[in-house]
Structure 1
Amino acid sequence: MSETLQDCQRQNGAVWAEDQGSILSFGNDKFALKAVQNGAALWDRTHWGRLQFTDQDRLSFLHNQTTNTFKTLKPGEGCESVFVTSTARTIDLVSAYVTEEAVLLLVSPTRRAQLMSWCDRYIFFGDKVKIEDITTQTITFSLLGPESSRLLHKLGISDLPESPHHHITTQIKGHTVRVASGSGLTTPGYTLFADAEVGADLWQALTEQDACPLGEKVWEQLRVSEGRPKPDAELTEDFNPLEAGLWQTISFDKGCYIGQETIARLNTYQGVKQRLWGIQLGESVSVDTPITLEDKKVGVLTSLVETAEGPVGLGYVKTKAGDAGAQVSVGTVTGTLVEVPFLTYPQWTPDPTP
């Protein structure tokens, strides 16, 4: 019997999370963090969802359903975009990759079924678009770290894509692999897609070139430290993508899409009164702890991780509470607001009103 992907990962020391959907750790967390900083780390994202959109209206359909521009994208290009409700509340941040015949969406693990149902809802009679959930038929790995490109060069890939979310189809050890620029974070890297049956061979090829396996525990540290919002934490129906710092995923001149009216109004009238911050803390506190300033609630903590520099969190804070360097109270603990690289915001003057 041929070796499976889980067999290979077990040999690398994988310990699966309780739901068995993702790998919690490889028992090498310190080494994996160093690899992200100085080498190349390998993260299995196969538990994320992959939705494939085909037929001739696929680009216009996604153009009308999400915040970014799709109609002008060419095969080999891609983008990040956000699905929002009609009132512009966030559903998911997705990565899109346009091929000759389809658009592939990489979606968050907890939003796969919801987005399939959501999109089905908006396919009307006469629309020429088909959606297929290809998650179980495929695998996705991400390489993170400054040596990622050199590692792929060693596997024979000479013409790597450089622009964000641009991608190519290539061969690794005789297998067809789609290689896209971007690691899922601001950390340099690449994301690879392939058929499920080649997962073990591809994993082995990458680890043989010294890619250091990385589990969810380290990914969560990186995610929070860099500020990538995730569903059920920062991306919920309590917040919109402007508050979540996802301005880079929004086109303000592409015309109508679901939630566009609310987003346009918030932008025009500078109506964003809270934003997502990184928060450096002196001690650990519980997620959902209120954030206060002078005994008045100004926000809420949405994520927290332990790092070598101490506890780091993400939280929504009213703009009137201050800018980077401002100190707030998170429960009984003092926190300092810090910029995080994944998020983007316009240079607005904070609204002085509550």
Structure 2
Amino acid sequence: MAMMRMAGLSHITNTATALLPCLCSGTILRRRSLRLRNGGSRERKFQLRCVSASDSLQFDFSPPPIDHDLLDTISVSGGKVSEDGVVESFDNDDEALDAFDNGVVVVDLSHFGRIRVSGDDRAHFLHNQTTANFECLNEGQGCDTVFVTPTARTIDIARAWIMKNAIMLMVSPTTCQSIIEMLNKYIFFADKVEIKDITKQTCLFALAGPKSNQIMSKLNLGDLIGQPYGTHKHYSFDGMPITVGVGSLISEEGFTMLMSPGGAISVWKTLLAEGAIPMGSVAWEKLRIIQGRPAPERELSKEFNVLEAGLWNSISLNKGCYKGQETIARLITYDGIKQKLCGLDLSAPAEPGSTITFDGKKVGKLTSYTRGRNGSSHFGLGYIKKQAAVIGNTVTIGEDISGIVSEVPYLSRQHPPSTNPSS
């Protein structure tokens, strides 16, 4: 079965520039099945082609014989799905965490937000509204960018893909609607910008772990291996459009897959057949904390600015005026960064919001906590004043829980942006 699906995976060039390109231009996708003979067996291969709206009358809109979506498929196979459609667990959290370190995992992140920004002014608009330099990026490239308040307080980190006719943003589940409302508020009459929430029209998977490249090669996606973070290309999988990009949201390694719901089941089953271990949102949250990626309502809030969060890779200092730019420039010029986000190896469970002290003085606050594998260890994230935020320092959380300041992968990869004007 896996071989059959791999045969249906092909690279789209020129004609495919974004998910559902035909729908966006007023045309409709038609899927034809071609039967191919291989020895004595038969295989089905799907082709994708566009038809005009006038041809749509030929379609039969009666219900299909099987009405089965991705969440149904996951539930039937033992996955636990919440009432609001989040895949929480496969009762394999420790196995999945081990696979992230030593194998490969696949995570359904379809509950994360997807925002499509289109119009001739889209790049300039996002250039002014977020921290990254969009005007130096070309089609097929991508980056992380941070939505901030006018005083550079953090709202969310967004993954951005630059496509031919749009910029795709992937944001946290809790911020999607508020970011859309905020962006719409800053669109003026003459601006050629359109904001659209396409979360429900798409599915999003993350593929992560050291063996991710092996699966990519088996699926004829090897042309992305070794490419810069954010690089993405469009493909056809069983006749359905899919966009694959470098980076797994939680790490610069791995890959992200954006597709229409119609192709999600085939992609999911193929990734599992090739050896990926499914991971639910509970284990993903553990991984987020252990990796040190900030999240809204935890490390990202109006209480902390973008430099305290350490998100240097998402910031351009040379692109001119943008929201929060004055505050960021002042903090850097006058060394105004007073605290920083750190990892903490804890001696016992701790409650987020607990005070962090050092030498009897309050130096910060715990923002996230999780148990390690098998519940045998404890780990947290927290903001700590610079003088105490030294790797190896022992601090106290709450009344008597000790914590050792430690390095975390996501934050350790962050570095101050280049002074090159193109950055």
Return the TM-score normalized by structure 1.
0.95
Q: In the alignment, which residue of structure 2 is the partner of 1:343?
A: 411
**2:216 paired with 1:149:** no
* Residues 8-66 of structure 1: CA deviation (Å, up to 9, x unaligned): 2113321124x533111101112211221122101001000000011110000000000
Which amino acid letter does the alignment assign opposite residue 257 of structure 1? Y
Greater CA drift, 286-295 or 99-108:
286-295
Where does 1:295-306 land on structure 2 (aligned, <5 Å)?
Answer: 295-306=360-371
SS at match of 2:175: helix
Identity %: 42
CA deviation vs aligned residue, 1:306-347 (integer Å, no higher than 9, x gap)? 003511000000012141000110011111000112115669
CA-to-aligned-CA distance 1:129-158 (integer Å, 9 cap, x gap): 111111100000000111112112212223
Asked if the contact 1:290/1:301 (under 8 Å) is kept, the reply is yes
Residue 351 (structure 1) aligns with = none
State how 1:58-207 maps to structure 2 within 5 Å: 58-160=122-224, 162-186=227-251, 188-207=253-272
Query: Counterparts of 1:199 and 1:99 in 2: how far apart (Å)?
Result: 21
Equivalent residues of 2:122, 2:192 under 8 A apart = yes
Q: Which amino acid aligns with 1:167?
A: H
Paired position in structure 2 for 1:323: 390
CA offsets 1:109-130 (integer angstroms, 9 cap, x no match): 0000000000001001101111
Bigger drift between 282-291 and 29-38 goes to 29-38
Q: 1:292 is aligned with what amino acid?
A: T
- Which region of structure 1 is more displaced relative to structure 2, 314-323 or 58-67? 314-323
CA distance, structure 2, for counterparts of residue 102 and residue 322 of structure 1? 41
Q: 2 CA distance for matches of 1:119 and 1:327?
A: 42
Which one is further off, 145-154 or 74-83? 145-154
CA drift at 1:172: 2.5
In 1: Cα distance, 2:313 partner to 2:343 partner: 18
Distance 1:182 1:92 in 2: 17
Q: CA RMSD in A?
A: 1.4
Partners of 1:320 and 1:96 in 2: CA distance = 35
Q: Which residue of 2 aligns with 1:6?
A: 71
Structure-1 separation of matches of 2:152 and 2:337: 12
Given that residues 246 and 252 in structure 2 are in contact (C-alpha distance below 8 angstroms), is that contact kept between their aligned partners in structure 1?
Answer: no
**Match of 2:380, as an amino acid?**
G
1:23 counterpart residue number = 87
Aligned AA for 2:263? Answer: V
Does residue 41 (structure 1) correspond to residue 105 (structure 2)? The answer is yes
Q: Distance in 2 between matches of 1:333 and 1:148?
A: 38
SS class of match (1:136):
helix
For structure 1, the 5+ residue unaligned runs are 348-354
Partner residue of 2:319 out of 227, 235, 254: 254
> Deviations along 1:271-323, whole A, 9 cap, x unmatched?
00000000000101111000011221110000000003511000000012141
Q: CA deviation at 1:6?
A: 1.1
Distance 2:126 2:389 in 1: 37
Higher deviation after alignment, 222-231 or 187-196: 187-196
Distance 1:320 1:346 in 2: 19
Residue in 1 that maps onto 2:287: 222
User: Paired residues, what number?
Assistant: 346
Q: Secondary structure at the match of 2:381?
A: strand
SS in structure 2 opposite 1:291? strand
* Partner secondary structure for residue 119 of structure 1: helix
| Structure 2 counterpart of 1:179, one-letter code | V
